[in-house]
Structure 1
Amino acid sequence: MRYTITSLVALILTACSVYSPDAGHEVVLIEKPWLFGHGGVDPEPVKTGRTFAAVTTDGVDVYMQPRKYETELHDTMTSDGVPISFHAIMVLQVADSVALIKNFGPSWYLNNLEEPFKTMVRQAVRKRGMNETAISTTALDEIDNEIRDQLVAFIRDKALPVRLITMTVGRANPPDSIKNQRIETATQEQRVQTEKQVKLAEDQRMAAEQSRASADNAYREAMHLSPEQFIQLETIKMQRVVCGPEGKAACTFIQNGATPVYNLGR
């Protein structure tokens, strides 16, 4: 008797499917009877706990939390004919798992949203030039807002039971040739600025030298000195600074061709 009960329980279990979704998931049951009934999608999803279903019933796991979908868009043409690339991101959240699987199937994003999303991005970028798209953050914000409004309208019109949480086309990536040209242009512009600063410093130094020369010449004329006398005066001033009480050098001055005599015995 005990063997019979055990066998019966084992038979029942092997004839059933067991579903126990994790937190944040729901399982939509799709009944596919072999002999009787019409089957179809069960109106109530499996949300928590453990559920037993017929062996002919399939379960589709649906993630109910916000999920990120990423799309690479290569060679998206701008209005001036420059191909740029984007790494676009869209975050969606399922609102009704049963309606989603019943009306759009497990591959609902791939079949209904991915290509329209790419088309929206291409059309928005085609209205703008490479410079404003690749450099100006204002242009990218405008593109994001334009596509976001189109996506919300598209999801509503198609009756997709999902919510758009956020989306962005990300940073625009121009071709390497354009990047190299921009680096070269920036280098040249920096070189020009550096040369301007060097010339400005040289002009300021020349102006300072000219101003000092004018001041020295005005002093010489006021003292009624000849150029030779002024040079001699400046020499004396220099010697006084170097060899005077405040100077650090021991100096011997030789004038008029005289030969110095040193006491070597001391």
Structure 2
Amino acid sequence: MKRLSFVLFLLSTIITSSCSRMSVDADEVGVFVKKPYIFGSGGVDDAPLMAGSEWKVFSTDFVKLKKTPQKFTEGFDDIMSDDNTPVDLTANIIMQIVPTQTPLLISNFGVEWYDINIKPKFVKFIRDEISNYSMFDLTSNREVYDKIEDVVIQKVSQIIEEKNIPVQVIDVVVDRAKPNQGVMEEIDRTAIQIQNKRTQTERVKAEEQRASAEQAKAVADKAYMREMQFTTAEYLKLREIEIEKEKVDMVKDKNQVNVTMLMGGGVTPIYSVK
């Protein structure tokens, strides 16, 4: 009797220690994958754990999946645009599993159902659509992305339907493309060259305008000298007086300003105006 009790206790201990209780959160669904060592048949349990918890033996795997929409992001480097300019961008696809069909998803497509069955096609579709537009449109026209996203949603949804994958596409969002580093450096160099050329052109124009103004003034001065019958010395003296008058006019309304007047043709000031 004691031996029987011991055996039963031992069996109970083994069974208890080889079992564990699995649970899921509110946004999760669980799938049991049976892998019996001796008795029973293996495979994916047809009944998913939708809520709460449930016991499993140690040889059974438990896979958790998110019931809420999940975002998968793919980066693209050096995609060739329609005008053969390489661009970089990021594309996002938002997908949601069908919770009640998660056993079918795991059984037919595995835990990595996206990486194996969706990702390669999604990447290809994005590359194909980007290559239909020029770099200018890809970097400046948001309407282009609306068209690209609609086409990719349709194509990915078609793949899902053909393969009977129990997931659905919620949305596709493609971030604005930008030229790759090499193109950006070339754009910067071109912009610098254009700016330098523009600056040089403006400098030449300013010098031409200044020369034209000085020439016009010289002509006007000569005409004035002839009209007033001034000699060159008399005209220069007149200009000297006018310059000194301009000094006074510039500061006449300001306080605490000294103006040194140079009159009489010498280097020593004759008087100061305060």
Fold shared by both chains (TM-score > 0.5): yes
Candidates 43, 46, 49, aligned match of 1:46: 49
Number of the residue aligned with 1:71:
74
Candidates 171, 179, 182, aligned match of 1:177: 182
How far apart, in 2, do the equivalents of 1:236 and 1:37 lie? 119
Contact (CA 8 Å) 2:77, 2:180: kept in 1 or not?
no
Number of the residue aligned with 2:148:
143
Candidates 91, 109, 112, aligned match of 1:107: 112
How far apart are residue 44 of structure 1 and its match? 2.9
For each residue in 1:93-130, what CA deviation from the matched residue of structure 2 results, as whole angstroms up to 9, or x when unmatched? 22323332233221211121011011112211232344
Confirm or deny that 1:62 pairs with 2:65: yes
Give the AA of the match of 1:180: E
1:172-251 pair list within 5 angstroms:
172=177, 174-210=179-215, 212-213=217-218, 215-217=220-222, 219-240=224-245, 248-249=259-260, 251=262
Contact (CA 8 Å) 1:19, 1:46: kept in 2 or not?
no
How far apart, in 2, do the equivalents of 1:73 and 1:89 lie? 11
Contact (CA 8 Å) 2:70, 2:95: kept in 1 or not?
yes
Of residues 206-215 and 240-249 in structure 1, the stretch that sits farther from structure 2 once superposed is 240-249
Give the AA of the match of 1:248: V
Confirm or deny that 1:30 pairs with 2:33: yes
How far apart are residue 217 of structure 1 and its match? 4.8
State the SS of the aligned residue for 2:200.
helix
How far apart, in 1, do the equivalents of 2:46 and 2:53 lie? 17
- What is the Cα-based RMSD across aligned positions, in Å? 3.7
How far apart, in 1, do the equivalents of 2:116 and 2:225 lie? 95
For each residue in 1:12-35, what CA deviation from the matched residue of structure 2 results, as whole angstroms up to 9, or x when unmatched? 323434211234221112334556
Give the AA of the match of 1:90: I
Of residues 226-235 and 189-198 in structure 1, the stretch that sits farther from structure 2 once superposed is 226-235
Contact (CA 8 Å) 1:242, 1:249: kept in 2 or not?
no
State the SS of the aligned residue for 1:128.
coil
Give the AA of the match of 1:10: T
Percent of residue pairs bearing the same amino acid type: 28
Contact (CA 8 Å) 1:83, 1:175: kept in 2 or not?
yes
How far apart, in 2, do the equivalents of 1:242 and 1:57 lie? 100
Candidates 73, 77, 91, aligned match of 1:88: 91
Number of the residue aligned with 2:264:
253
Could you say if the C-alpha distance between residues 49 and 218 of structure 1 is closer, same or farther in structure 2, counting changes exceeding 3 Å? same
Q: Which runs of 5+ in 2 are unaligned?
A: 253-257, 269-274
Could you say if the C-alpha distance between residues 173 and 234 of structure 1 is closer, same or farther in structure 2, counting changes exceeding 3 Å? closer
Of residues 38-47 and 104-113 in structure 1, the stretch that sits farther from structure 2 once superposed is 38-47
State the SS of the aligned residue for 2:168.
strand
Could you say if the C-alpha distance between residues 242 and 71 of structure 1 is closer, same or farther in structure 2, counting changes exceeding 3 Å? closer
Contact (CA 8 Å) 1:31, 1:41: kept in 2 or not?
yes
Give the structure-2-normalised TM-score: 0.72
Q: Which runs of 5+ in 1 are unaligned?
A: 261-266
Could you say if the C-alpha distance between residues 235 and 169 of structure 1 is closer, same or farther in structure 2, counting changes exceeding 3 Å? same
How far apart are residue 134 of structure 1 and its match? 5.1
Contact (CA 8 Å) 1:17, 1:57: kept in 2 or not?
no
How far apart, in 2, do the equivalents of 1:162 and 1:147 lie? 16
Of residues 241-250 and 217-226 in structure 1, the stretch that sits farther from structure 2 once superposed is 241-250
Contact (CA 8 Å) 2:244, 2:261: kept in 1 or not?
no
Give the structure-1-normalised TM-score: 0.74
Number of the residue aligned with 1:264:
none
Number of the residue aligned with 1:98:
103
Of residues 174-183 and 217-226 in structure 1, the stretch that sits farther from structure 2 once superposed is 217-226
State the SS of the aligned residue for 1:249.
strand
Could you say if the C-alpha distance between residues 239 and 20 of structure 1 is closer, same or farther in structure 2, counting changes exceeding 3 Å? closer
